[in-house]
Amino acid sequence: MANTLLTPSVIARQVLANLYENLCMVPLVYTDVSQEWAGQKIGSTVTIRKPATFVANTFDPASPSITIQNATETGVQVTLDTHKDVSFAISSADLTLRLEDFDQQFLAPAAESLAQAVDRAIIATQKAAFTQVAGDEYFPGTTTGAHDNWKHPETLIEADRLLNIANVPASDRAAVIGPTTRAQWLGTDWLKFAEHSGSTDALRQGSLGRQLLGFDTYMTQNIVQPAGSPATGQPTTEVGVAFHRTSTAFASATLALPTDNTWAAIESYKGLSLRLVKQYSMDKKSDVISLDILFGTKVLDANRGVLLRGDLA
C-alpha cells in the first residue's frame, strides 16, 4: 500500500540515519552540538566544549590543605566553513511512494554523497595538521624495502610508539586507511588469521579489526590518492591517519529554515544537523528537494595524530 505520510520530518530523519551509517570519520572524532548554534551561516564561528583537564598534585600530609582545581570546560572556536548541498527533482507521485522505496531511490544516494564530503573534509584537515609520520622507515635495519613497510599492519606499532611518547591516552584510538593499503594489509599473516586481529567477529563483519595493534582500524574510500599511478610508473602516496578521538573536532550547526516555506524540517543526531526544504522550481517545472549540512573541522592537538604513509609505486 502506498505511503502518503512522507512528511519533511520523516524524510529528514531517514536521510540523517543514512548519513550517519555511511560516515567513517565523525564517530571517531570529538563532536559537539548546541541548540545555541541554530540558524548559523557559512563562515560563522562557534565554540565547542573540550573536556576538563587536571594535574595530579603530590599530596603533602604536612600541608594544611589540598590544591583545588577548577573543573571548568575549555572552549575552542571552530569556523563553519563548509556547506554541502544535494538537491534533486521529484514528482507528486514520488511523494506517495512507501518510505522504503523513496529511501532507495532518492535518500540513500543523497546521504552517501554527503557522507563522502564530510569524511573527506575531516581527513583533509588531519593531513594538513599532523606532522608525525609512521610507515616509510618502520623497522630500519631489516631487509624490508625502504618503501615497503606501509604494506604491513605493523606500521601501527610505530604509530602507537609515537602517540605513547606524546602521552596520548591508549583508549579511543583509531586508524583509517585507504583501499590500496587495506588490500596490502589483508594479504599479511596478521589479517589472514582471525586470531591475530584479536576478534574473529571483526573479520566476519568485513572491517580490519577492532583493537588491531592498539587501534580500532577502518578502511574508507575517501582516503583520496593524489595524482600519479603505479600503473603509469609515476609514484603516488596513499596517506592514512592514526589518531586519538580528541585530536580532531567536528562541529555541525543548524541552518535557518526559510520563512516562506512550511514544507521543511531540521533534524540533529549525534553531532550532525541536517536541513531539508522542498520548493517548486520554475526552471525545472517540478518540485525540488534540497538537503544541506553546515559544518567545520579543526585539529585540536596535532601531537595526538600520526600520518600513515607509504609509496605505492
The answer on 208 and 117 residing in a single domain is: no
Give pLDDT tens digits for 283-299. 777 889 999 999 999 99
- Rg of the chain, C-alpha, whole Å: 23
Q: State the pLDDT at residue 229.
A: 47
What is the residue type of 195? E
User: Average pLDDT of 120-133?
Assistant: 94
Residue 47: helix, strand or coil by DSSP?
A: strand
For residue 65, is it within any domain? Answer: no
For residue 224, is it within any domain? Answer: yes
The answer on 238 and 89 residing in a single domain is: no
HSE-up of 227 (CA within 13 Å, CB side)?
0
Range of the domain at 78: 8-52+73-125+251-294
Look up residue 300 and give its three cell numbers.
Answer: 585540536
Would the pLDDT of 233 be above 50?
no
Task: Lowest mean pLDDT of 127-131, 239-243, 258-262, name the range.
Answer: 258-262
The answer on 183 and 40 residing in a single domain is: no
Tell me the sheet residues that pair with 295: 82, 252
The answer on 14 and 84 residing in a single domain is: yes
The answer on 89 and 29 residing in a single domain is: yes
The answer on 101 and 243 residing in a single domain is: no
Give pLDDT tens digits for 159-197. 999 999 999 999 999 999 988 888 888 877 766 654 444
Q: What is the chain's length?
A: 313
Tell me, what DSSP letter sits at residue 40?
Answer: B
The answer on 212 and 190 residing in a single domain is: yes
Distance CA 290, CA 265 (A): 11
Q: State the pLDDT at residue 56.
A: 77
Chain centre to alpha carbon of residue 6: 29
Would the pLDDT of 126 be above 50?
yes
Would the pLDDT of 107 be above 60?
yes
* Greatest Cα-to-Cα distance within the chain, rounded to the nearest angstrom: 82
For residue 156, is it within any domain? Answer: yes
pTM, entire model: 0.82
Q: Which domain CATH number covers 225?
A: 3.30.2320
Tell me, what DSSP letter sits at residue 26?
Answer: G
Distance CA 281, CA 73 (A): 47
Q: State the pLDDT at residue 204.
A: 39
Q: State the pLDDT at residue 234.
A: 46
Q: Are strands 240-244 and 305-308 parallel, antiparallel or unpaired?
A: antiparallel
Q: State the pLDDT at residue 280.
A: 85
Would the pLDDT of 85 be above 60?
yes
Mean pLDDT of the chain: 80
For residue 222, is it within any domain? Answer: yes
For residue 208, is it within any domain? Answer: yes
* Element of type H or E holding 289: strand 286-299
For residue 235, is it within any domain? Answer: yes
Number of structural domains (the chain) is 2
Would the pLDDT of 135 be above 50?
yes
Would the pLDDT of 213 be above 90?
no
For residue 58, is it within any domain? Answer: no
Distance CA 288, CA 85 (A): 12
Which has more confidence, 89 or 76?
89
CA nearest to 78, candidates 49, 53, 57: 49
For residue 66, is it within any domain? Answer: no
Q: Quick one: pLDDT band at residue 86, thresholds 50, 70, 90?
A: very high
The answer on 174 and 28 residing in a single domain is: no
CA nearest to 30, candidates 247, 228, 176: 247
The answer on 276 and 210 residing in a single domain is: no
The answer on 132 and 227 residing in a single domain is: yes
Q: State the pLDDT at residue 3.
A: 52
Distance CA 8, CA 289 (A): 10
The answer on 236 and 262 residing in a single domain is: no
The answer on 259 and 241 residing in a single domain is: no
Task: Lowest mean pLDDT of 190-194, 202-206, 217-221, name the range.
Answer: 202-206
Q: What is the DSSP string of 248-261?
A: EEEEEEPBPPPTT-
